[in-house]
Amino acid sequence: MENIGVIFGGRSVEHEVSVITGMQIIENMDRSKYNPIPIYINKNGKFLSGESLKNFKSYKNGDFHDATEVFFKPEFGDRNLYYIKHNEKGLFKPETYSIEVYEKIDMIFFALHGTFGEDGCTQGLFELMGMPYTGCGVMSAAVGMDKVTMRKVFESEGIPMTKYKYFYKEELKNLKSVTEKCKDLNFPLFVKPANLGSSIGISKVKDALELSKALEVASMYDRKIIVEEAVVEPREINVAVLGYENDLRVSAAEEPLGFHDLLKYEDKYVSGSKGAKSSQKFQNKKLPADLSPELEKEIKNLAKKSFRAIDGSGVARIDFLVKDDKAYVNEINTLPGSISFYLFEVDGLDIKNLITELIELGRKRHDERAENNYSYDSNLFNMTSYGAKI
pLDDT band at 59 (very low <50, low <70, confident <90, very high): very high
Of the candidate ranges 31-35, 114-118, 298-302, 325-329, the one whose mean pLDDT is the lowest: 114-118
pLDDT tens for 41-55 read 999 999 999 999 999
Q: Which fold has domain 143-158+233-368?
A: D-amino Acid Aminotransferase; Chain A, domain 1 (3.30.470)
pLDDT at 382 over 90: no
Report the distance separating Cα 112 and Cα 218, nearest Å: 22
pLDDT tens for 324-352 read 989 999 999 999 999 999 999 999 999 99
Residue type for position 257: L
Residue span(s) of the chain under CATH 3.30.1490.20 come to 164-229
Those residues whose C-beta lies under 8 Å from the C-beta of residue 108, and which sit 6 or more positions away, are 4, 5, 6, 7, 39, 126, 131, 132, 133, 134
Report the distance separating Cα 131 and Cα 123, nearest Å: 9
Q: Is 354 helix (H, G, I), strand (E, B) or coil?
A: helix
Report the distance separating Cα 251 and Cα 241, nearest Å: 6
Residue 296's H or E segment, with its range, is: helix 293-309
Residue span(s) of the chain under CATH 3.30.470.20 come to 143-158+233-368
pLDDT at 91 over 70: no
Nearest to 134 by CA among 310, 361, 318: 361
Q: Is 230 helix (H, G, I), strand (E, B) or coil?
A: coil
* The pLDDT of residue 284: 84
How many whole angstroms from its chain centre is CA 73? 23
* Mean residue pLDDT across the chain: 90
Query: Is the dihedral angle over the CA atoms 48, 52, 55, 59 positive or is it negative?
Result: negative
pLDDT at 204 over 60: yes
Report the distance separating Cα 65 and Cα 72, nearest Å: 21
Where does residue 89 rank: exposed (0-12), middle (13-18), buried (19+ CB within 10 A)? exposed
pTM for this structure?
Answer: 0.88
In three-state form (DSSP H/G/I as H, E/B as E, the rest C), the secondary structure along 177-200 is HHHHHCCCCCCCEEEEECCCCCCC
pLDDT at 237 over 90: yes
Buried b vs exposed e over 103-112: b needs ≥16 C-beta within 10 Å? bebbbbbbbb
CB 177 within 8 A of CB 203: no
pLDDT band at 304 (very low <50, low <70, confident <90, very high): very high
Report the distance separating Cα 226 and Cα 152, nearest Å: 12
Those residues whose C-beta lies under 8 Å from the C-beta of residue 78, and which sit 6 or more positions away, are 72, 129
- The CATH H-level superfamily of 164-229 is ATP-grasp fold, A domain (3.30.1490.20)
Report the distance separating Cα 32 and Cα 1, nearest Å: 7
Residue span(s) of the chain under CATH 3.40.50.20 come to 2-133
Cis peptide before 288 (omega within 30 of 0): yes
Report the distance separating Cα 145 and Cα 113, nearest Å: 10
2-133: CATH, from 3.40.718.10, 3.40.50.20, 2.30.30.90, 3.40.50.2000: 3.40.50.20
